[in-house]
Amino acid sequence: MKLYGYFRSSAAYRVRIALNLKGLTPEGSYVHLQKAQQRADDFLALNPQGLVPALVTDQGDVLTQSLAIVEWLDETHPSPPLLPADAPGRARVRSIAQAIACDIHPLNNLRVLNYLTHTLGVSDEQRNGWYRYWVDLGFEALERRLSREAATGRFCHGDAPTLADVCLVPQVANARRFKIDLSPYPTLVRIDAACQALPAFGAAAPERQPDAAA
Amino acid sequence: MKLYGYFRSSAAYRVRIALNLKGLTPEGSYVHLQKAQQRADDFLALNPQGLVPALVTDQGDVLTQSLAIVEWLDETHPSPPLLPADAPGRARVRSIAQAIACDIHPLNNLRVLNYLTHTLGVSDEQRNGWYRYWVDLGFEALERRLSREAATGRFCHGDAPTLADVCLVPQVANARRFKIDLSPYPTLVRIDAACQALPAFGAAAPERQPDAAA
């Protein structure tokens, strides 16, 4: 397997965590988003969307979209499972993951922040306000859910990490990088800390990737 | 089952299509987004995220996030399947669905367009340019993929509708409503037409919902 990623990409970070939890160590390839390497012809030939991550399997299939990749990993390498065994539990975990991957992250990634600054000409203050607004809106709802629902355990769902935690940890890291006040979200902070105690999460952190130094 | 939706919500539209394909007709409840009914206390008690769709199952579970709901439907009502039987096929279908649900739709839904207008104060022209930019960026990549990959058939994946088509059709409808020129996307238009020929898709259209008239 070969993973195309970028140290700061939250979506690539999710896949790194899932690979580590499964004990898999694919070859790494680094696509520098701030140098726009994702729009180079060779990468577009691999992934027409021009986004990381992309995972090339041992069979030569090119998989894209972080959540689809994690589901594929879970189907092809079932142990340890990243989704619960029951359908309502799977729906819960996927909905937490998607509340992050569909409703927070897409609004706050690099290409969107660049559009706000360079095309719409908004000020740094307005751009930071945009970032904060969508993180807070999403985190407030997640905090309410996770603090109230009985299915929440040491992790987002029970006492083992799932796809939900795989999405939560990169989003919390991103929020910290943008200096978001996390004190209104004690449950998210507690679960993030439980994840960080596992080597699979720690080893996936952006600052520990080979392309972080460059 | 009871579905909380809104006729114009693309995410609710996806779930309506999937329910129709499965031959399921849950009770309907309508949450008027332009009247902000999704932020009323009774709806927030049901779904703290304040978003539609939400599906209440016969067991009383409240399911949220359209893709998680469709996956749950597919697991609990397997016929006809909305995901292929093989893991690489499932990864392909999910990645197409997520290229829409994570990379196009979140940038162009009502709450984001409202933020651009009311908080950032951008002009109508700038807001429409934003809409067009993200649709075109996403559709160009999808068109390249779907027109080139051998797995594309009458529908996004083979000759039966899947989760990918369930996401494509509402996004195409939304693009038409915003008068996007679809001529650069002949494969998307062809697949949309194949879907529209099926009653399950036609009956899920926004203009055919009970709350569309109000």
| Residue B214, pLDDT score | 64
- pLDDT of B206 > 80? The answer is yes
**Rounded-to-integer distance, Cα B6 and Cα A90, Å:** 25
Residue of chain B whose Cα is closest to the Cα of A75: B87
CB A105 within 8 A of CB A111: no
Q: In this complex, which of A69, A90, A120 lies closest to B122 when CB atoms are compared?
A: A120
| Residue B213, pLDDT score | 77
The closest of A3, A56, A1 to A210, measured between CA atoms, is A3
- pLDDT of A214 > 70? The answer is no
CB B209 within 8 A of CB B7: yes
How far, in Å, are A144, A152, B5 from residue A208 at the CA level? 32, 29, 43
Average pLDDT over residues B136-157: 97
Q: In this complex, which of A68, A102, A126 lies closest to B91 when CB atoms are compared?
A: A68
- pLDDT of B9 > 90? The answer is yes
Say whether A112 and B107 touch across the interface (CB within 8 A). Answer: yes
pTM of the model as a whole? 0.96
**Rounded-to-integer distance, Cα A203 and Cα A16, Å:** 8
Residue range(s) of every CATH 3.40.30.10 domain in chain B = 2-80
- pLDDT of B114 > 90? The answer is yes
Peptide bond between residue B53 and the one before it cis (omega within 30 degrees of 0): yes
| Residue B97, pLDDT score | 98
Average pLDDT over residues A21-32: 91
Average pLDDT over residues A131-153: 97
Average pLDDT over residues A155-184: 97
Say whether B75 and A87 touch across the interface (CB within 8 A). Answer: yes
Instruction: Determine the distance in angstroms separating the CA of A126 from the nearest CA of chain B, rounded to an integer.
Output: 7
Instruction: Determine the distance in angstroms separating the CA of A68 from the nearest CA of chain B, rounded to an integer.
Output: 5
- Give B33's pLDDT tier (boundaries 50, 70, 90): confident
Crossing angle of helices B10-21 and B66-76, in 10° steps, is 10
Residue of chain A whose Cα is closest to the Cα of B115: A130
Say whether A87 and B72 touch across the interface (CB within 8 A). Answer: yes
Say whether B102 and A105 touch across the interface (CB within 8 A). Answer: yes
Cβ atoms < 10 Å from Cβ of A98: 25
Instruction: Determine the distance in angstroms separating the CA of A204 from the nearest CA of chain B, rounded to an integer.
Output: 22
**Tokens in use for B71?**
């996956």
CB B156 within 8 A of CB B168: yes
Q: Where are the alpha helices (DSSP H) in chain B?
A: 10-21, 41-46, 66-76, 87-101, 105-108, 110-114, 124-148, 163-177, 186-196, 199-202
Sheet of strand A62-64: strand arrangement: A27-30, A2-5, A54-56, A62-64
Residues in B closer than 8 angstroms to A101, CB to CB, are 98, 102
Average pLDDT over residues A57-69: 96
- pLDDT of B58 > 80? The answer is yes
Cβ atoms < 10 Å from Cβ of B144: 16
Counting residues of chain A whose pLDDT is more than 90, the rounded percentage is 86
Say whether B65 and A99 touch across the interface (CB within 8 A). Answer: yes
Q: In this complex, which of B57, B98, B145 lies closest to A48 when CB atoms are compared?
A: B145
SS3 at position A54: strand
Instruction: Determine the distance in angstroms separating the CA of A59 from the nearest CA of chain B, rounded to an integer.
Output: 10
Which class is domain A2-80?
A: alpha beta
**Rounded-to-integer distance, Cα A207 and Cα A213, Å:** 8
Residue of chain A whose Cα is closest to the Cα of B61: A88
The domain A87-200 is placed in CATH, from the list 1.20.1630.10, 2.20.25.90, 1.20.1050.10, 3.40.50.300, at 1.20.1050.10
Non-local CB neighbours of A101 within 8 Å, separated by 6+ positions: A11, A14, A66, A67, A167, B98, B102
| Residue A42, pLDDT score | 86
**Which residue type sits at B80?**
P
Residue range(s) of every CATH 1.20.1050.10 domain in chain B = 87-200
Residues in B closer than 8 angstroms to A61, CB to CB, are 88, 91
Counting residues of chain A whose pLDDT is more than 70, the rounded percentage is 100
Residues in B closer than 8 angstroms to A41, CB to CB, are none
**Which residue type sits at B208?**
R
| Residue A68, pLDDT score | 98
| Residue A101, pLDDT score | 97
Mean pLDDT of chain A: 95
Q: Cα dihedral angle (B194, B184, A55, B108), rounded to 10 degrees?
A: -90
Q: In this complex, which of B95, B120, B144 lies closest to A64 when CB atoms are compared?
A: B95
The closest of A9, A17, A5 to A161, measured between CA atoms, is A17
Residues in B closer than 8 angstroms to A57, CB to CB, are 88
The closest of B77, B65, B61 to A89, measured between CA atoms, is B61
Q: Where are the alpha helices (DSSP H) in A36-122?
A: 41-46, 66-76, 87-101, 105-108, 110-114
Say whether A64 and B90 touch across the interface (CB within 8 A). Answer: no
The closest of B148, B182, B181 to A44, measured between CA atoms, is B148
| Residue A67, pLDDT score | 98
